[in-house]
Structure 1
């Protein structure tokens, strides 16, 4: 019985240990978001919809085939559809037929529609890729925010450990009469303030984790966490790349330009389609029909179907002459839309250049801020060490020591903030340079 109990406890412990919180890496978060994010899924549906548009356009090249049939019963005086005689009786009649139509020429509109569908499908693919880039950047930013909040929490926790040790040390000195009781009260007040900062920092970590989980559509917040990796600043050489090189690379790789170019191509195709409405349309048609009536009692069903059938075929020509200026106005509207999309393309190119310049300025500015924070941290670290040594030997009071420690804590927090801000700005620059969002270097 004891063995069974031990096995049961071991089994429960084993599964409990394996139900631990999953620590997600950044790459896992990015890949998961690209596979499950709602906005990405909607863009994928747009791609599927444009594929159906192309299927519709291709279907216009196929002939239209329709079959029809009808059955009627006539009571009283009526026309016998077989004998073409008026008869005053009850008789059953039926007819059926097959009609085929095919467009031989419609101003090449069918051809243009297929070409337009291809461009539209490509544009939707570009929008999907852009959405993936945006989601990857959102995920990276949220992930780095969690790292920043965790790093700041570690700062206040570490310094609170120092404060707790100082309380013990100060209590001993007060009991020995070496320092006044006011120093102990000052350290205790510092401890209370740090406990408050710890609570705020812990809350910030939880909120940022929930925000990241929501971005990934993960609802199990309790078992969601990120890997405690120490991300370093890497790939700094991209910041030394000439801006002109970055702009050219962005124009070749960024989806904003491709989307705008595809809109211009669509507008050009719309002009061709609208001009096609000004040209004649030629259609071919073929029809077969037959009839049956029980009023012709001397002719069997099969023979009636054979005798009463007929075939019709020919060509039809439709020439647009006057349609209330609609066709020509559609051409004019298409030309206006082309001008609009060309302006949008030009604006997209200008915006991209501006964004690349801004990204480069942000990288260089965040790098200087990070370097300045490192220098400030080194200075504050020396000042804090000096103040701590002086306090330990009773050559400075608790207030001055607490202020020095607070400045040191703030310097550590600032170096964390500038570090992760610099990393994120580098990631933005990498995306403009054409780095795949799932291959961002950290």
Structure 2
């Protein structure tokens, strides 16, 4: 087993004293803040709460529905006497009470399938919330990596500018001594101008990357956000990992795969509900009713208690069968639509699983490729540093032209920038592979 330890310090010193008291945000800090303050995550949380309440409502549908009613009526003029069921012309007061209950016994499986569908929807909502958190964290991680990279290129460009200025100063002194000509000085003045332009360009790219990081974090107050650019990467290169094993785990645990699976199951239960609506519905109903009647034109009235509990009370029990005969093909159309939705959900699940497999394979290939490229770039940087110092010495001795020195310097800074890019890309892909293996995105390497 071969172990490679990379310790990258981009030369951005964190001094003691007052600066030591300021907070420097690591990659995990930025991702954690983004997840906690993301509007997309909060929207998923609210939607998940709606799924939760829908599931509770579906479970409560199995219980009887109970209702009560109370009514009071004053009648004046011609009306019906409830005692004789004949018309009269008197004033009356009628106070009615009722309570009823209904219990569904059979509805074609709609209740049970609705309960199962809402349970799956609740699980789907949980996975969508986790998926939103992962997407936000991955976006912030990529933006953080880009910010660190451009912070590093700014440092490299500044070092290159300072080196060119020192070389220009030496060339001017050598011109005064007659060892170099004005053409040599002019070439290095042009090089200093080019390096100054490159520094400005890298600073602009860094500012854009930093702005993108703040945007992905949903962070306000740019002056207080200081990122920690000291990155430590520890990698172990051993036998290649099995892509099939990583995909097998991701296909049963990754939120993307689980969301697609739950969506397919929910569509299947919705189709069953639509088919169940074509069956007859059987329910049991029971109720109690009573009333109090008073003739306002007569002084003789039976007491409220006797009327309420004895004379006017009635009960009923009923079995109600409702058979759908024709509704303009509404139920058939709904079942057909639900079946098509189920088939589309199945096709979408298959497509998502294929995309997930490709993403896993690509992440593993990129990680291993960047690891190998980093090793080669480290060797190239060492060789380019030696070549640059030798070229500089020969230039000072008059054995090399300014163009040769500029070429060696540009080759060295390009190699250093590429090395930084490969290291950061390796870090990004390593975390992505770990994510597919079920490890948390936040806090895997730095906690």
Q: Name the TM tier (shorter chain).
A: 0.7 to 0.9
Other structure's SS at 2:178 match: coil
Q: Extract unaligned runs of 5+ from structure 1.
A: 1-15
Is structure 2 residue 317 aligned with structure 1 residue 316? Answer: no
Are 1:278 and 1:327, in contact at CA under 8 Å, matched by a contact in 2? yes
Within 1, Cα distance between the matches of 2:344 and 2:84?
Answer: 66
1:142 is aligned to 143
Within 2, Cα distance between the matches of 1:189 and 1:118?
Answer: 70
2:291 is aligned to 291
Within 2, Cα distance between the matches of 1:230 and 1:279?
Answer: 65
Within 2, Cα distance between the matches of 1:217 and 1:373?
Answer: 36
Within 2, Cα distance between the matches of 1:196 and 1:360?
Answer: 38
Are 1:289 and 1:309, in contact at CA under 8 Å, matched by a contact in 2? yes
User: For residues 124 and 51 of structure 1, do their structure 2 counterparts lie closer, same or farther at Cα, with a shift above 3 Å needed?
Assistant: same
- Offset at 1:224? 0.9
- Offset at 1:250? 2.1
What is the 5 A alignment of 1:387-406?
387-406=391-410
- C-alpha offsets along residues 48-85 of structure 1, whole Å, 9 cap, x if unaligned? 11101101101211222222233333332222446644
1:114 is aligned to 115
Other structure's SS at 1:437 match: coil
Are 1:82 and 1:308, in contact at CA under 8 Å, matched by a contact in 2? no
What is the 5 A alignment of 1:288-367?
288-295=288-295, 297-299=299-301, 300-306=303-309, 307-367=311-371
Q: What TM-score, normalized by structure 2, do the two folds share?
A: 0.86
1:407 is aligned to 411
Is structure 2 residue 173 aligned with structure 1 residue 155? Answer: no
Other structure's SS at 2:24 match: strand
Are 1:289 and 1:310, in contact at CA under 8 Å, matched by a contact in 2? yes
1:204 is aligned to 205
**Aligned Cα root-mean-square deviation (Å):** 2.7
Q: Extract unaligned runs of 5+ from structure 2.
A: 1-16
- Offset at 1:429? 1.9
Within 1, Cα distance between the matches of 2:83 and 2:138?
Answer: 76
- Offset at 1:322? 4.3
Where has structure 1 moved over 6 Å in runs of 4 or more? none
Other structure's SS at 2:99 match: strand
Within 2, Cα distance between the matches of 1:127 and 1:141?
Answer: 21
What is the 5 A alignment of 1:19-418?
22-81=23-82, 84-232=85-233, 234-237=235-238, 240-295=240-295, 297-299=299-301, 300-306=303-309, 307-418=311-422
Other structure's SS at 1:385 match: helix
What is the 5 A alignment of 1:420-435?
420-435=424-439
Are 1:261 and 1:345, in contact at CA under 8 Å, matched by a contact in 2? yes
Within 2, Cα distance between the matches of 1:113 and 1:86?
Answer: 51
User: For residues 322 and 147 of structure 1, do their structure 2 counterparts lie closer, same or farther at Cα, with a shift above 3 Å needed?
Assistant: same
Within 2, Cα distance between the matches of 1:273 and 1:220?
Answer: 51
Are 2:143 and 2:209, in contact at CA under 8 Å, matched by a contact in 1? yes
Within 2, Cα distance between the matches of 1:226 and 1:83?
Answer: 91
Q: What TM-score, normalized by structure 1, do the two folds share?
A: 0.87
Other structure's SS at 2:230 match: coil
Within 1, Cα distance between the matches of 2:313 and 2:98?
Answer: 9
- Greater Cα offset, 354-363 or 147-156: 354-363
Other structure's SS at 1:374 match: helix
Other structure's SS at 1:240 match: coil
Are 2:431 and 2:441, in contact at CA under 8 Å, matched by a contact in 1? no
- Offset at 1:149? 0.6
Other structure's SS at 2:188 match: helix
Within 2, Cα distance between the matches of 1:48 and 1:175?
Answer: 79
- Offset at 1:173? 2.4
Within 2, Cα distance between the matches of 1:281 and 1:134?
Answer: 45
2:14 is aligned to none
Is structure 2 residue 440 aligned with structure 1 residue 436? Answer: yes
Within 1, Cα distance between the matches of 2:290 and 2:377?
Answer: 93
Are 1:359 and 1:429, in contact at CA under 8 Å, matched by a contact in 2? yes
2:3 is aligned to none
- Greater Cα offset, 135-144 or 245-254: 245-254
Other structure's SS at 2:288 match: strand
- C-alpha offsets along residues 73-104 of structure 1, whole Å, 9 cap, x if unaligned? 33322224466443324444332322222212
Within 1, Cα distance between the matches of 2:334 and 2:402?
Answer: 82
Within 2, Cα distance between the matches of 1:323 and 1:87?
Answer: 44
Within 2, Cα distance between the matches of 1:282 and 1:130?
Answer: 42
